[in-house]
Amino acid sequence: MNFDGKVALVTGGADGIGKALSDVFLSKNMKGVCLVDVNEDKGQETAKAFEEKYGAGKAKFCKCDVTSSEQLEAAFKTCVDTFGRLDVACNNAGILNEYKWKLMVSINLNAVIEGTYLAVKYMGTKNGGNGGVVVNTSSVVGLVPRQYAAVYTASKHGVVGFTRSAAFEPDVVDNGIRVVAICPMAVETEFMAIAYEQGSKYTEVYRNEMEGRVPRVKFEELTSAVVQLIEDKDANGSINVIVPGKGSKSIPPPNLNL
């Protein structure tokens, strides 16, 4: 898919990875981006900054807690009502808080599943749309274990398993939709700083042993991996790890011919 005149919806679009993706989408001449986020102040601020940079009417902020089915569907509807179409859905919002693990699973996994199905409803060729691409944000710990963050790791493994499987569901394929996921290593965002405030065993260990010593994926490395996945018409069910300084690599499912 090329980006010209297309429309994207990005959850967690107010900040971090979602904001960086939205910026790049607009720089590639997308018609508009819908920033879907629970943080109203940041969301309004980011939308305003994008309109100043790319022109009036290019960014729409939708206040939404992705754990609410009603709010998430309303965001998809607002996006199509505002821009007239939807082509790319990034299910990206996420948190790291092992103490609030049920909430974390709701945000990191359930909302990714719900967002994917809503993308089929609002982008699907059988539903009046033009087809499109769903990009789900997992993590490197969607592929490898991580002690002290068992539920975060489970939620991100869930995103990988769901993406690999949903991509080949007839209802998804027959609606002209591809589904991919990214598995970045640590990225240059405030994600861990926010996680420190909320507290978890993992962030205590991380802060003591790893902070400042782990290289970060740069936004440019991450966004170019996502752009490639969106542009590549053969990328479906693809799970791409993103490693600082080394770029993006597709990771196939394990070969079980034992």
Ligand X SMILES: CCC(=O)/C=C/C=C\C[C@@H](O)/C=C/C=C/C=C\[C@@H](O)CCCC(=O)O
Between CA 22 and CA 235 the distance in angstroms is 20
SS3 37: strand
Interface ranges with ligand X (CB under 6 A): 96, 139-141, 144, 146, 185-186, 191-192, 206, 210, 214
| H helix and E strand count, the chain | 10, 8
Q: Which is nearer to ligand NAI, 28 or 42 (CB)?
A: 42
Q: Which two tokens stand for residue 121?
A: 């409803």
Q: Which is nearer to ligand NAI, 190 or 211 (CB)?
A: 190
Between CA 191 and CA 188 the distance in angstroms is 8
Q: Is residue 95 at the binding interface for ligand NAI, with CB under 6 A as the rule?
A: yes
Q: Which is nearer to ligand NAI, 5 or 215 (CB)?
A: 215
Which of ligand NAI, ligand X, none sits in contact with 175, Cβ below 5 to 8 A by type?
none
Active site residues: 152
Q: Which is nearer to ligand X, 100 or 146 (CB)?
A: 146
Q: Is residue 38 at the binding interface for ligand NAI, with CB under 6 A as the rule?
A: yes
Residue 47 and residue 54 in contact, taking contact as beta carbons nearer than 8 Å: no
Q: Per DSSP, what are the bridge partners of residue 217? A: 187
Q: Is residue 21 at the binding interface for ligand NAI, with CB under 6 A as the rule?
A: no
Query: Which residue, judged by CB position, is nearest to ligand X in the bound state?
Result: 139
Q: Quick one: which segment of 47-55, 61-69, 166-174, 245-253 binds ligand NAI (CB under 6 A)?
A: 61-69
Q: Is residue 160 at the binding interface for ligand NAI, with CB under 6 A as the rule?
A: no
Q: Select the residue interacting with ligand NAI from 143, 186, 227, 251 (CB under 6 A).
A: 186
Q: Per DSSP, what are the bridge partners of residue 187? A: 217
Q: Is residue 16 at the binding interface for ligand NAI, with CB under 6 A as the rule?
A: yes
Q: Is residue 74 at the binding interface for ligand NAI, with CB under 6 A as the rule?
A: no
Between CA 57 and CA 47 the distance in angstroms is 10
Give 246's contacts (C-beta < 8 A, 6+ positions apart). none
Sign of the CA dihedral 246, 252, 254, 258? negative
Q: First CA to last CA across the chain, in angstroms?
A: 38
Q: Is residue 203 at the binding interface for ligand NAI, with CB under 6 A as the rule?
A: no
Q: Which two tokens stand for residue 97?
A: 């808080």
Q: Is residue 12 at the binding interface for ligand NAI, with CB under 6 A as the rule?
A: yes
Between CA 52 and CA 204 the distance in angstroms is 39
Backbone angles phi, psi at 11, to 5 degrees: -80, 145
Please, what is the minimum distance in Å from the beta carbon of residue 131 to ligand X? 30
What residues line the site for ligand NAI (CB under 6 A)? Answer: 11-12, 14-18, 37-39, 42, 64-67, 92-95, 107-108, 137, 139, 184, 186-187, 189-191, 194
